[in-house]
């Protein structure tokens, strides 16, 4: 029988408890337990704290006039609460998946960790952190952490509205999913609706061509089919009438209430003094949205998250609190067009949108209520090309730099990708390649571990982390995409394109496109690496050019566009004799490094500098040195 605990969030239902790794001791924190179950929430639509939840007043209510819903939760916490460090580390799962142990403990990712390798080196656990996850999306694929969100009703009747789905395929197919990357969809009211439309276009802002209704059909299960099939690389967009919108903003209020519950010192759990939130990509945008909409203040007052680590989410927020919103949708250079993701304001400090005259900031509500968290924004190079990253630290006109707030830091991990490719490097898709170049294998993990420890000290001890490090207009390390001066590299079209961000009017679907927000990118050096930012040893002492972008393979269509948020690795020639000095301006390996030992010496010096600057942990040095040696051996091999 499940264990039920009464609590401020109404109740935390514990379905399963286990001792981690048979009682293995994690440093001074001792043994850990795993607690899994359902968190049950009750929201009062009349509470001032909940007025920001869109359509909460349309959700079904219980006899007391409250709105009820539940979510999956998963907790790792010391067996002995007295041995906890009093800190909660919360990961907002990215599309329902857990990543914290992989990133911060060098672990092998698993939905339900059970083995030594699933817990890695135990960095967080040895320090006594309680580590918490909660599902916050209703639409994730089966088997992932989710939230059962209420469905809005108008006077007890179903609500309908237009839903837009666009998609681009990598290979020809007779069918395509309406949902984004396997996510559930809002069901069509009528599969045969004559008013539903399917359009096709080549570029994001090109006029769409409407396809005859008789040539395509909506299918049960969230798919669409087209006579002759969908061609790869082209932009298809379906607009249909759907029913039953979920009250998405409940996830913001639930996150607030869950963290607040733990900070209230509930019986049987460690007393939590401080909470740090981490979001990766989409879930980083979720936490940005959380702060912007005022949810970092508990319903009874006080700060919810004391610190937030926002990793590779770019300048956006998302469809997290709107009717018929699709939380999985993002916005990229050639994927997921014109969703409410990149919406003013972008920066932590107040800026003015020249189009609307509106002045606002990401932290405005938090600062007004004195609940501002310490905030670290981490960007890879990919975010500048695919996620409008420059808008975090420029004005909306792209004319001047905007310094981060005193409570914030901004770091670019130079020339790193949104996600690291495998080793040895290969193109995405393998035998059916989807990218022109092999994927960039550089990982942010070592730096993320150091930055989390720095954020912890900032929150708990007031010790400030290293100064922000990112490209700027004033020193010409930030430039317009078409103005970047790239080295010559064989068979590579340069400069690469970048995401174009527009002011959008969502009063109808598709939205009306307005004026553009200028997006800038890091200026490259003579090797094609970002001049500014935190330069990993692999960038400071390179054996190849690494980028945060990669082109689609010609066989996938749209070969002049970017392949999602992938990065590239383009090796240097081994010797000057092998280097075509006309088509490749980059020095060869032999021209750079007289020997393997010379290379490793320079590489080691670069790594040790980052340790001294606070961007790496000393315990990660050995792994970085091994990675550098593997790269050298890979690219010098005949």
**For 527-578, how does the pLDDT look when each residue is reduced to its tens digit (9 = 90+)?**
999 999 999 999 999 999 999 999 999 999 999 999 999 999 999 999 999 9
What does the CA dihedral 415, 419, 421, 423 come to, rounded to 10 degrees?
80
User: Is 80 exceeded by the pLDDT of residue 52?
Assistant: yes
User: Is 80 exceeded by the pLDDT of residue 352?
Assistant: yes
User: Is 90 exceeded by the pLDDT of residue 490?
Assistant: no
For residue 423, cis peptide bond before it (omega within 30 degrees of 0): no
Calculate what percentage of the chain has a pLDDT beyond 90: 95
**For 159-208, how does the pLDDT look when each residue is reduced to its tens digit (9 = 90+)?**
999 999 999 999 999 999 999 999 999 999 999 999 999 999 999 999 99
Which pLDDT score, from 0 to 100, does residue 298 have? Answer: 95
∠ CA 404-405-411, rounded to 5°: 35
Among 106-120, 139-153, 484-498, the range scoring the smallest mean pLDDT is 484-498
Which pLDDT score, from 0 to 100, does residue 269 have? Answer: 87
Q: Quick one: average pLDDT of 360-376? A: 98
List phi, psi (to 5°) of 197. -130, 150
Place of tokens 């959008």: 504
For residue 392, cis peptide bond before it (omega within 30 degrees of 0): no
Tell me 230's DSSP state.
E
Whole-model pTM above 0.95?
yes
Query: What tokens were used for 116?
Result: 């030594």
What does the buried/exposed string (b/e) look like for 478-513 if buried means 16 or more CB atoms within 10 Å of the residue's CB?
A: bbebeebebbebeebeebbbbbbbbbbeeeeebbee
Which pLDDT score, from 0 to 100, does residue 1 have? Answer: 39
Long-range contacts of 464-468 (CB under 8 A, 24+ apart): 465/376, 465/409, 465/614, 466/409, 466/613, 466/614, 466/615, 467/409, 468/404, 468/408, 468/409, 468/410, 468/411
**For 250-292, how does the pLDDT look when each residue is reduced to its tens digit (9 = 90+)?**
999 999 999 999 998 877 788 899 999 999 999 999 999 999 9
List phi, psi (to 5°) of 309. -110, 110
Q: Quick one: average pLDDT of 68-87? A: 97
Which pLDDT score, from 0 to 100, does residue 591 have? Answer: 97
Q: Quick one: average pLDDT of 504-514? A: 94
Which pLDDT score, from 0 to 100, does residue 279 have? Answer: 98
Which pLDDT score, from 0 to 100, does residue 2 have? Answer: 47
* Distance from C-alpha of 270 to C-alpha of 585, rounded to nearest angstrom: 58
- Identify the sign of the CA torsion 350, 351, 353, 356: positive
∠ CA 519-521-526, rounded to 5°: 160
**For 132-157, how does the pLDDT look when each residue is reduced to its tens digit (9 = 90+)?**
999 999 999 999 999 999 999 999 99
Which pLDDT score, from 0 to 100, does residue 4 have? Answer: 46
* Distance from C-alpha of 21 to C-alpha of 114, rounded to nearest angstrom: 7
User: Is 70 exceeded by the pLDDT of residue 7?
Assistant: no
* Angle subtended by helix axes 621-636 and 596-613, to nearest 10: 150
Spatial CB neighbours of 332, under 8 Å, sequence gap ≥ 6: 386, 387, 499, 562, 564, 565
Asked if 391 and 501 count as a contact pair (C-beta separation under 8 A), the reply is yes
* Distance from C-alpha of 559 to C-alpha of 562, rounded to nearest angstrom: 8
User: Is 90 exceeded by the pLDDT of residue 398?
Assistant: yes
Distance of CA 85 to the CA centre of its chain: 28
Tell me 231's DSSP state.
P
Q: How far is CA 571 from CA 357, 487, 586, 589, in A?
A: 47, 13, 10, 9
Rg (CA), the chain: 25
Q: Where are the beta strands (DSSP E) in 180-273?
A: 197-201, 209-210, 216-219, 223-230, 235-243
Which pLDDT score, from 0 to 100, does residue 8 have? Answer: 57
Which pLDDT score, from 0 to 100, does residue 266 have? Answer: 75
Calculate what percentage of the chain has a pLDDT beyond 70: 99
Which pLDDT score, from 0 to 100, does residue 278 have? Answer: 98
Q: Quick one: average pLDDT of 219-238? A: 97
Tell me 577's DSSP state.
T
Which pLDDT score, from 0 to 100, does residue 482 have? Answer: 92
User: Is 50 exceeded by the pLDDT of residue 240?
Assistant: yes
Half-sphere exposure of 344 (CA within 13 A, CB side): 23
């Amino acid at each position: 029988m499940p264990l039920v605990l009464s609590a401020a969030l109404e109740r935390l239902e514990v379905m399963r408890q286990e001792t981690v790794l048979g009682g293995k001791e994690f440093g001074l924190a001792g043994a850990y337990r795993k607690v899994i179950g359902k968190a049950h929430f009750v929201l009062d639509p009349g509470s001032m704290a909940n007025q920001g939840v869109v359509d909460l007043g349309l959700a079904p209510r219980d006899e007391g006039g409250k709105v009820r819903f539940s979510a999956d939760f998963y907790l790792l916490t010391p067996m002995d609460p007295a041995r906890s460090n009093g800190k909660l580390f919360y990961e907002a799962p990215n599309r329902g998946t857990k990543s914290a142990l992989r990133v911060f403990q060098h672990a092998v990712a698993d939905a339900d960790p059970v083995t030594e390798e699933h817990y890695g080196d135990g960095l967080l656990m040895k320090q006594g952190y309680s580590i918490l996850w909660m599902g916050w999306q209703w639409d994730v694929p089966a088997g992932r952490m989710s939230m059962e969100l209420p469905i809005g009703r108008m006077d007890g009747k179903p609500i309908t509205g237009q839903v837009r789905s666009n998609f681009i395929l990598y290979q020809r197919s007779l069918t395509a999913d309406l949902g984004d990357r396997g996510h559930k969809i809002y069901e069509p009211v009528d599969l045969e609706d004559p008013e539903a439309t399917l359009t096709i276009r080549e570029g994001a802002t090109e006029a769409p061509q409407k396809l005859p209704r008789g040539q395509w059909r909506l299918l049960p299960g969230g798919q669409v089919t087209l006579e002759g099939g969908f061609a790869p690389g082209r932009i298809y967009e379906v607009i249909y009438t759907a029913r039953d919108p979920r009250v998405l903003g409940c996830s913001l209020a639930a996150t607030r209430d869950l963290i607040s519950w733990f900070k209230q010192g509930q019986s049987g759990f460690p007393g939590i003094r401080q909470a740090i939130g981490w979001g990766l990509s989409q879930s980083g945008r979720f936490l940005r949205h959380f702060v912007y909409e005022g949810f970092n203040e508990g319903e009874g007052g006080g700060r919810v998250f004391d610190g937030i680590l926002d990793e590779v989410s770019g300048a956006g927020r998302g469809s997290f609190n709107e009717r018929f919103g699709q939380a999985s949708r993002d916005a990229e250079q050639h994927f997921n067009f014109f969703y409410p993701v990149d919406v003013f304001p972008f920066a932590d400090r107040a800026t003015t949108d020249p189009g609307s005259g509106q002045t606002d900031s990401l932290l405005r509500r938090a600062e007004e209520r004195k609940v501002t968290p310490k905030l670290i924004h981490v960007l890879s190079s990919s975010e500048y090309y695919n996620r409008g990253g420059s808008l975090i630290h420029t004005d909306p006109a792209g004319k001047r730099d905007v310094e981060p707030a005193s409570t914030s830091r901004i770091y670019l991990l130079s020339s790193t990708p949104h996600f690291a490719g495998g080793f040895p490097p290969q193109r995405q898709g393998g035998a059916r390649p989807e990218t022109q170049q092999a994927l960039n294998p550089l990982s942010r993990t070592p730096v993320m571990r150091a930055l989390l420890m720095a954020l912890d000290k900032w929150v708990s001890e007031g010790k400030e982390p290293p100064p922000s490090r990112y490209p700027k207009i004033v020193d010409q390390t930030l430039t317009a995409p078409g103005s970047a001066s790239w080295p010559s590299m064989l068979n590579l079209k340069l400069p690469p394109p970048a995401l174009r961000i527009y002011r959008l009017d969502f009063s109808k679907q598709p939205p009306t496109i307005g004026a553009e927000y200028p997006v800038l990118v890091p200026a490259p050096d003579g090797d094609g690496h970002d001049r500014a930012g935190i330069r990993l040893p692999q960038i400071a002492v390179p054996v190849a050019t690494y980028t945060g972008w990669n082109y689609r393979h010609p066989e996938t269509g749209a070969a002049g566009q970017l392949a999602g948020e992938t990065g590239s690795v383009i090796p240097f020639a081994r010797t000057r004799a092998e280097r075509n000095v006309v088509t490749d301006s980059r020095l060869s390996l032999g021209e750079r490094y007289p020997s393997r030992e010379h290379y490793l010496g320079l590489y080691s010096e670069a790594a040790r500098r980052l340790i001294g600057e606070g961007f790496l942990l000393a315990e990660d040095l050995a792994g970085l040195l091994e990675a550098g040696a593997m790269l050298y051996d890979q690219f010098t091999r005949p």
